[in-house]
Amino acid sequence: MSRLTTGPGRFPTNSLPAATFGRRGLLKGIAGIGAAATLPALLGACDSGSDENVAPPKGNPDDPANLTFWTWTTNVEKVVDIWNARNPHQKVTVSRQAQGEELLTKIITAHRAGNAPDLLHAEYQALPVLITNGAVADLTSLAGEVRSEFTEGTWNLTSFGGKTYAIPQDVAPMMLYYREDLFQQFGLTVPKSWDEFATVARQVRQKDANRYLATFSSGDPGWFAGLAEQAGANWWVNDNGTWTVSINDEPTKRMAAFWGGLVNDGTLSGKPMYTPEWNKAMSDGTLLAWPSAVWGAGVLEGVALTTKGKWRMAPLPQWNAASPATGYWGGSATAISTKSTQRAQAEKFVRWLNTDPEAIDALVAQGGIYPAATTGQSTPALSKAPLMLPNQPTFFADAAAIAKTARGFSWAPNVNVTYSAYSDILAKAIQDKSDFAAAIDRLQDASVADLKKQGFQVK
């Protein structure tokens, strides 16, 4: 699921997306602490030693069922209503428990307590955490039937070691949003390479000392991971149970050093995204561009509605013009709980939700997602430009072309720890104006130390 649909309610003035695994989820959780720590759930957690994958009951997919679905996709109730009208004996109930990393924690707690829902919203980077907690079922049997609906890169997001644990719902390829009006006003050209990006960033500072081309955010690890992915990084590889962690690989450090140099010499801003300051900067033109994902158009609507028609979307600047690439920022899949007793019916629903043309079109139209299924990427609801970019009628066609260049990425079972460490370490580097590449070495050390502590084999 795209971040577009997450509304942390942090600021009542708009609907900001929550950083998945970022520090921004914190606030939402303050209210949730009491609920999450109820005694029965805690006491139930005592039996968590018995986390083995239970063999799925051989059920009939058409048997009556009553399925619970924990998700936070915008307006997903309306999509589920279509299912419920078609399948009156197999009712699906949507329950909005939490979002982002809190939903992850709730799912694991509920799983330990033995009352997990049948259907789960699983963000790609959270999936390994769910798998290693034994919370999501192996869907390899279902996978064979739907595999052809997805590209290789997308499919790899939910498959580990030949097993598939979830069916992709949406993907979020990264792209560059920029203020077309201000680019014209200042006579800037849209950067095609990151070198050009740096040049344009300096030009902006020369033309107007109050403006920046863009900001580097310590609060959005998913954003950073997407940029690293574009640069060619491969942070995690699992070879037969042994993990190789290379967060400080050459592409990531090159990318981090590039941003760090520009932030430290004042060419780019170093303030976090999704703050009241950022909202203001995005609407008053203090920031001229935003490397974001396909759902970014929806975020602009929330934070900078007055700039409607002034933005345009282009591919991210490239490291190597010969082989254009992009990364993913966000996106999620639908999984089934290992404890579900209605496995066959749940599989039927998951398949319908993420591959049926009617369901996908409703998800796009109602939920504003960018579907993972390739046929869905030309669904009728995507023929119109987003509200904020009426000046770019080919928005989704352009997005589809960019999506084809997305590199694959595989995630580790401690992405949550790595992400929270990212926020602290990079925030400190920005404050101290110190070397970002060195900060990435510290991030690597923190991530590896945690993986080892948890008992994983690390090379």
Rounded-to-integer distance, Cα 397 and Cα 101, Å? 32
Sign, CA torsion 324/263/22/283: negative
Which residues are 457's β-sheet partners? Answer: 242
Residues 284-313 contacting other proteins, CB under 8 A? 286
Per rule CB under 8 A, is residue 42 in the interface with other proteins? Answer: yes
Of the two residues 221 and 376, which places its CB atom closer to other proteins in the complex?
221
- Tell which one of 67, 69, 101, 371 touches other proteins (CB under 8 A): 101
Token code pair at residue 49: 């030693």
Distance of CA 116 to the CA centre of its chain: 23
Distance of CA 425 to the CA centre of its chain: 21
Under 8 Å between Cβ of 151 and 359: no
Helix (H, G, I), strand (E, B) or coil at 236: strand
Residues 129-158 contacting other proteins, CB under 8 A? 129, 131-134
DSSP conformation class of 338: T
Distance of CA 219 to the CA centre of its chain: 14
Per rule CB under 8 A, is residue 105 in the interface with other proteins? Answer: yes
Of the two residues 27 and 82, which places its CB atom closer to other proteins in the complex?
27
Size of the site for other proteins (CB under 8 A): 65
- Tell which one of 17, 56, 117, 128 touches other proteins (CB under 8 A): 128
Per-residue mark of binding to other proteins, 360-389 (x: CB under 8 A) = ------------------------------
Helix (H, G, I), strand (E, B) or coil at 458: strand
Would strands 167-179 and 289-293 be described as parallel, antiparallel, or unpaired?
A: antiparallel
Number of neighbouring beta carbons within 10 Å of residue 147? 13
Per rule CB under 8 A, is residue 430 in the interface with other proteins? Answer: yes
Of the two residues 92 and 336, which places its CB atom closer to other proteins in the complex?
336
Per rule CB under 8 A, is residue 208 in the interface with other proteins? Answer: no
Helix (H, G, I), strand (E, B) or coil at 347: helix
Q: How far is the CB of 239 from other proteins (least distance, A)?
A: 10
Give contact residues for other proteins (rule: CB under 8 A).
Answer: 10-11, 21-27, 29-30, 32-33, 36, 39, 42-43, 45, 48-49, 51-52, 101-102, 104-105, 108, 128-129, 131-134, 160-161, 163, 218-219, 238, 240-241, 270-272, 274-277, 280-281, 286, 413, 416-417, 420, 423-424, 427-428, 430-431, 453-456
